[in-house]
Amino acid sequence: MTEYSVIDDPNDFQAACAALAAGTGPVAVDVERASGFRYSQRAYLVQVFRRDAGVFLFDPPALGDFAPLQAAIGDVEWVFHAASQDLPSLRELDLEPHTLFDTELASRLLGHDRVGLAAVVEDVLEITLKKEHSAADWSTRPLPDSWLDYAALDVLYLVDVRDRLAEELEEAGKTEFAAQEFAATLAQPPRPPRDDPWRRLSGLHQVKGARNLAVARALWEAREQYAQQQDTSPGRLVPDRSLVAAVLANPQSKHALAGVQAFNGRASRSELDRWWEAIVRGRESDDLPRARVSSDALPPARAWAERNPEADARLKLARPAVETVAEELHMPTENLLKPDMLRRVAWTPPELSTDAVAAALAALGARPWQIEQTAQKIADAFVEAGQTPDQGLASES
């Protein structure tokens, strides 16, 4: 039998919170969701470890109010592996760290070749973790013992990893880099809702014409509403490809829709009335979607030479300059500076000075340490690009 059990009783919860409050040092925190199974991204298990307290596995649906846990650990550092994945689910429970340490992000800044949790634990502590339940349906009750062991291991060694990585950051002169990245992760606002989220349907490019797009939108909306009601991942009800197949088949009756072989999925026939009503609604809609939507996305780099040759020249000199800095710092280029930030300042450059480039990067969200490491190099590259005749370099792919 596993030594771990799920805490779902209020009295046991209070006792666990008291033990955690009496523990020492940072707390390791992790969340298990049911992504791919449930509609929501809610937490179905919250794991917490603290030295001199131990590992605790909490059941959010059963406990509901997590105020006692927030009171117990809210004022100490929380240690995560990939914090940005877990913070939204924790915030739904009103669990919010004051400060955090992200072992995945620290590993990236240190240039570790592998940054998954199991790999980092193995590289840093020489302990092998089994990761066989990472894609499990954590809404399952009761949770199997083997799953509980897996969940506990996600936090059991995390504080030890944090301490070793903190030493590495100090030795590499990257402690401040990490501190700024951790603060930025904590301050990151929620993503705004997407405009026209139905346009993310896989295979939608096959659908032509505003009326057919209206049908695709209506089917997506009907599936979304039903998925919310059932708290089931939409794709498990009817896959994207099936919705698109229904649009392309252009059935003229509910019976004809039922006969579309490619229209399949768990709810394709049991909810046939729902899907047919959506098709009719889309065909009768007066609000026809545009074939294309406006976007602030830049053109692909391969098109720059023709569409904006000056920007193309700037990017071709600035990109390798930034890559060189990243190599010198032994970290991935995207952690030194997001590629989109560099593309945007190259496409619409500020005045060709270090201060102006620094201000432009700051406006795009670059951290001070990133600006300090890259602004001068980018400004120099932009100046050189303006002085260098076009050599007819092949456009980047």
- Measured over the CA atoms of residue 45, residue 50, residue 56 and residue 59, the dihedral's sign is negative
Please provide the DSSP assignment of 286-335 as one string.
S-PPPSS----PPPPGGGHHHH-HHHHHHHHHHHHHHHHHHHHHTS-HHH
Give the pLDDT of residue 394.
Answer: 43
pLDDT of 393 above 70: no
Contact 345, 381 (CB under 8 A): no
* Contacts of residue 81, Cβ cutoff 8 Å, sequence gap at least 6: 30, 102, 103, 104, 117, 120, 154, 158
pLDDT of 22 above 90: yes
Neighbours of 149 (CB within 10 A): 15
- Using CA atoms, how far residue 141 sits from 2, 45, 103, 236, in Å, is 16, 11, 30, 20
CA 253 to chain centre: 41
Token readout for 96 is 């919010």
Give the pLDDT of residue 358.
Answer: 98
pLDDT of 392 above 50: no
Which range, of 26-30, 44-48, 288-292, averages the lowest pLDDT?
288-292
pLDDT of 133 above 80: no
Q: What is the mean pLDDT of residues 175-196?
A: 93
Angle at 124 between CA 121 and CA 127, to 5 degrees: 50
pLDDT tens-digit series, residues 316-343? 999 999 999 999 999 999 999 999 999 9
Q: Which amino acid is at 222?
A: A
Q: What is the mean pLDDT of residues 349-376?
A: 96
pLDDT of 397 above 50: no
User: Binning pLDDT at 50, 70 and 90, where does residue 389 land?
Assistant: low
- Using CA atoms, how far residue 18 sits from 22, 58, 88, 146, in Å, is 6, 14, 25, 27
pLDDT tens-digit series, residues 64-114? 999 999 999 999 999 999 999 999 999 999 999 999 999 999 999 999 999
Q: What is the mean pLDDT of residues 207-226?
A: 97
Q: What is the mean pLDDT of residues 181-191?
A: 94
User: Binning pLDDT at 50, 70 and 90, where does residue 388 land?
Assistant: low
